[in-house]
């Protein structure tokens, strides 16, 4: 699976963190958090950052928003319920109309990530999601603040 980008292994590589506690129904039949749910942690740390730091406006039908163009995850260790997921976020590439995030999910007290993923947002007007537009200024500033050297 060498075709996915190499992402870092430790907390120090992520400039922003959010704690996402697991929920009862995150567990699947095998007693661990289902793989699908990891992507909801990605979604949550990213959008929480855009809302709090970038002024993303999700209630205005005229706004420019980010839509997911691509995502991926490598799963290395399991989470269960109850457990806090320490979700690290960084910007790996910031383009004119899109951004590539990298996310590391850590178990408390563990040095290496339990899961590593990436997520690409393309920015579009909410009223016409088919044509990409420039990343809004306030969001760009927030993204630059957590950008890491390529």
Q: What span, in angstroms and rounded, lies between the C-alpha atoms of 147 and 144?
A: 5
Q: Within 13 Å, how many C-alpha atoms sit on residue 45's CB side?
A: 30
CB contact at 8 A, 85 and 20: yes
Binding of residue 20 to its own copies (CB under 8 A):
yes
Distance (Å, rounded) from C-alpha 136 to C-alpha 64?
A: 7
CA distance 60 to 7: 35
Least separation in angstroms between CB 73 and its own copies: 6
Could you tell me which stretch among 9-17, 48-56, 106-114, 134-142 binds its own copies (CB under 8 A)?
A: 48-56
Among 37, 106, 121, 113, which residue's Cα sits nearest to residue 71? Answer: 121
Question: Backbone dihedral region of 31: left (phi > 0), alpha (psi from -120 to 50 degrees) or beta?
Answer: left
Binding span for its own copies by CB under 8 A among 7-15, 60-68, 106-114, 136-144? 60-68
- 61 scored as a contact of its own copies (CB under 8 A): yes
The interface region with its own copies, picked from 8-16, 26-34, 106-114, 139-147 by CB under 8 A, is: 26-34
| Options 10, 15, 21, 111; binder of its own copies; rule CB under 8 A | 21
Is 94 one of the binding residues for its own copies (CB under 8 A)?
no
Any contact of residue 53 with its own copies (CB under 8 A)?
no
Residue 3 touches its own copies, criterion: CB under 8 A: yes
Strands 98-107 and 64-75: unpaired
Interface residues with its own copies (CB under 8 A) are 1, 3-5, 20-21, 23-25, 27-32, 34-37, 39-44, 46-48, 51-52, 58-59, 61, 65, 67-75, 78, 81-82, 120, 126, 129
């Amino acid at each position: 699976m060498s075709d996915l980008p190499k992402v870092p292994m430790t907390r120090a590589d992520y400039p922003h963190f959010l704690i996402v506690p697991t929920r009862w129904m995150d567990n699947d039949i095998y007693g661990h958090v289902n793989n699908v749910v990891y992507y909801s942690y990605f979604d949550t740390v990213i959008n929480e950052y855009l809302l709090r730091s970038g002024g993303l406006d999700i209630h205005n039908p005229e706004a420019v928003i980010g839509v997911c163009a691509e995502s991926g995850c490598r799963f290395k260790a399991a989470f269960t319920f109850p457990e806090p997921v320490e979700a690290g976020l960084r910007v790996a590439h910031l383009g004119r109309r899109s951004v590539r995030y990298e996310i590391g999910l850590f178990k408390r007290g563990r040095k290496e990530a339990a899961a590593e993923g990436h997520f690409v947002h393309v920015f579009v007007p909410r009223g016409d999601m088919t044509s990409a537009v420039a990343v809004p200024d306030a969001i760009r500033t927030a993204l630059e603040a957590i950008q890491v050297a390529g």
